[in-house]
Amino acid sequence: MDIYLTEIATGARLALSMLPEKAKQKGDTAFQVYDIINVGEVRIPRGTNLLTFSWSGTLPGKSRRNASYVKSQYWQNPKSIINTWERWRKEGTKIRLMVTETTINHDVYLDGYTAEPTGGNGDYEYSISFIEAKPIEVYTVNELNIKPKTQTNKTSASTRPPAAKAAAKTYTVKSGDSLWKIAQATLGKGGRYMEIYNLNTDKLKNPNIIYPGQVLTLPS
Give the other-Cβ count within 10 Å of 194's Cβ. Answer: 13
* pTM greater than 0.75: no
- CA–CA gap between residue 38 and residue 50 (Å, rounded): 33
C-alpha closest to that of 199 among 211, 183, 176: 183
Lowest mean pLDDT of 29-38, 120-129, 163-172, name the range.
163-172
pLDDT reported for residue 74:
93
pLDDT tens, 21-34? 888 999 888 888 88
DSSP 85-146: HHHHHHHT-EEEEEETTSS-EEEEEEEEEEEEEETTTTEEEEEEEEEE--------TTTTTP
pLDDT reported for residue 8:
92
List of domains in the chain: 3-132 (2.40.30.200), 136-144+166-220 (3.10.350.10)
Is residue 192 a contact partner of residue 219, using CB atoms and an 8 Å limit? yes
More confident call, 193 vs 142: 193
Is residue 16 a contact partner of residue 29, using CB atoms and an 8 Å limit? no
Give the other-Cβ count within 10 Å of 63's Cβ. Answer: 12
Amino acid at 56: S
Spacing of C-alpha 136 from chain mean position: 9
The H or E element that residue 103 is part of is: none
The pLDDT > 70 percentage for the chain reads: 86
pLDDT tens, 28-80? 888 888 888 877 888 888 888 899 999 999 999 998 989 999 999 999 999 99
Q: 149: which residues sit within 8 A by CB, 6+ positions away? A: none
